[in-house]
Amino acid sequence: MSMSDILVALLHVSKGFVKGRETIDIFERLDLTIPTKDFVAVMGPSGSGKTTLLNLLGGIDRPDGGEIHIAGTRIDTLSEGDLARWRAANIGFVFQFYNLMPMLTAAQNVELPLLLTNLHSAERRKHVETALKIVNLADRAKHYPREMSGGQQQRVAIARAIVSDPKLLLCDEPTGDLDRHSADEILGMLSILNRELGKTIVMVTHDPAAARYARRILHLDKGHFVEKELAA
């Protein structure tokens, strides 16, 4: 596999936090490569660093050591301003609890990331319409979150995540607040985004049924990865 096929590369990444007078290591010289168009499910016990990993990949948190390269950019050395611009152009986030603005319609929620770009209102509207069509919610564009089911709200959140055509989708327990039927709909949609639209996805989940939608599963424990093949 050539470097041009690699979207994400973590090289000897270390990360810890201070608790009292003690420094607790989360990662110590962690390595990870994710090819373009991959769909990775990250599992592991509570406190193993799954969300910290997403925060590092999304440039929300910085490593204490090592390098993080995403889409040809070393992000751990960027200034805060450059990092914010890079994140807006390259990363889409999907969270467990949707994080929609209750006073905004579905379309307005989806448009939010585009407000950080130089797109004119007509261009933003076209992007929003396209994103809502992809998640099969074009008919809910003017509805407010309170007027939609949990599954529909998460589909709006996915539309918001993809509206700027990011290179990497980071999903933190995206089905954790949904029933099984709604969860399978969301996971099927993520699978379509990966397989048909070529989106690279990293999904943290505690649910083995959710993890099976991924192309591969990485188990994170004690600061290290163990990859397990999906059963046929």
Does residue 28 lie within any of the structural domains?
Answer: no
- Residue 168's nearest CA partner among 18, 36, 3 is 36
Does residue 13 lie within any of the structural domains?
Answer: no
Q: Which residue has the tokens 């954790």?
A: 176
- Residue 62's nearest CA partner among 72, 40, 77, 41 is 77
Tokens of 64: 């204490």
Does residue 70 lie within any of the structural domains?
Answer: no
Residues in the chain: 232
Task: Give the per-residue pLDDT at 226.
Answer: 76
Task: Give the per-residue pLDDT at 169.
Answer: 94
The one-letter code for the residue type at 89 is: A
Tokens of 122: 């007509």
Task: Give the per-residue pLDDT at 111.
Answer: 94
- Residue 128's nearest CA partner among 161, 150, 93, 175 is 161
Strand 224-228 relative to strand 216-221: parallel, antiparallel, unpaired? Answer: antiparallel
For the chain, the domain total comes to 1
CATH of the domain at 53: 3.40.50.300
Give this prediction's pTM. Answer: 0.88
State the 10-residue block means of pLDDT for the chain, 232 residues long: 78 87 84 95 86 92 94 93 89 86 95 87 93 93 94 92 92 87 90 92 93 93 72 46
Q: Which residues of 209-219 are buried (b: 16+ CB within 10 A; e: fewer)?
A: ebbebbeebbb
The domain in which residue 135 lies consists of: 37-64+77-228
- Residue 207's nearest CA partner among 172, 232, 158 is 172
Does residue 128 lie within any of the structural domains?
Answer: yes
Does residue 24 lie within any of the structural domains?
Answer: no
Does residue 206 lie within any of the structural domains?
Answer: yes
Does residue 203 lie within any of the structural domains?
Answer: yes
Give Cα separations from 171 to 16, 120, 182 (angstroms): 22, 28, 16
What are the beta bridge partners of residue 97? none
- Residue 111's nearest CA partner among 95, 90, 96, 127 is 127
